[in-house]
Structure 1
């Protein structure tokens, strides 16, 4: 059963485009090289003068998520560069089984 993994982050408005570039150059290739990764949707918008990012990744099953996220799959994965951009670090992600 395919699984969707959803993460959210936010930046200052002045970091919005720079974080977008970081995601394109660093994070997306990292996801794509992980065995069991299917696809992703990276969404962004500006709300309340902050940049919001929502990432939805799709994985073949629960086990392959561990290849990317580690043993505790509920814990969000961050990159060292995120400290320069993100306003806060949400501790957990959400997972959903895809049924249709």
Structure 2
């Protein structure tokens, strides 16, 4: 199995809206691609020292795939480039332009 990791910084004020947008775009497209095996959405707070809700959050999307062919079917030939969507700019995200891929060597869902 292959894990595909993408991240962005999102202003805290846009967090909820961007998470809905992410679900309706990247997550939906991944789900509809043959070879998709699931995903994780992760969040890490970025503290800017101005108090709760005033900074940014790092949002990560990790998708899981059964083969490199499935990754290419989702991402295209340049599978190391991020797949970005119309409307991303409304949320003022700072997206990673490249993704990382990992071979999944083990997993435990207990």
Q: Encode CA deviations 1:17-36: one digit per residue, 9 max, x unaligned.
A: 11112123333221110111
- SS state at 2:64 partner: strand
Q: Using the alignment, how far apart are the partners of 1:56 and 1:86 within structure 2?
A: 21
**2:81 is equivalent to residue 75 of structure 1:** yes
Aligned match of 1:62: 68
Q: Using the alignment, how far apart are the partners of 2:70 and 2:7 within structure 1?
A: 21
The structure number with the bigger radius of gyration is: 2
- Residues matched between the structures, number: 99
Aligned match of 1:34: 33
**2:49 is equivalent to residue 50 of structure 1:** no
**2:105 is equivalent to residue 99 of structure 1:** yes
Aligned match of 1:7: 6
Query: Structure 1-normalised TM-score?
Result: 0.90
Q: Using the alignment, how far apart are the partners of 1:30 and 1:23 within structure 2?
A: 10
CA RMSD of the aligned region, Å?
A: 1.3
Gap runs ≥5 in structure 2: 48-54
Gap runs ≥5 in structure 1: none
Q: Which runs of 4+ in 1 moved over 6 A?
A: none
Query: Structure 2-normalised TM-score?
Result: 0.82
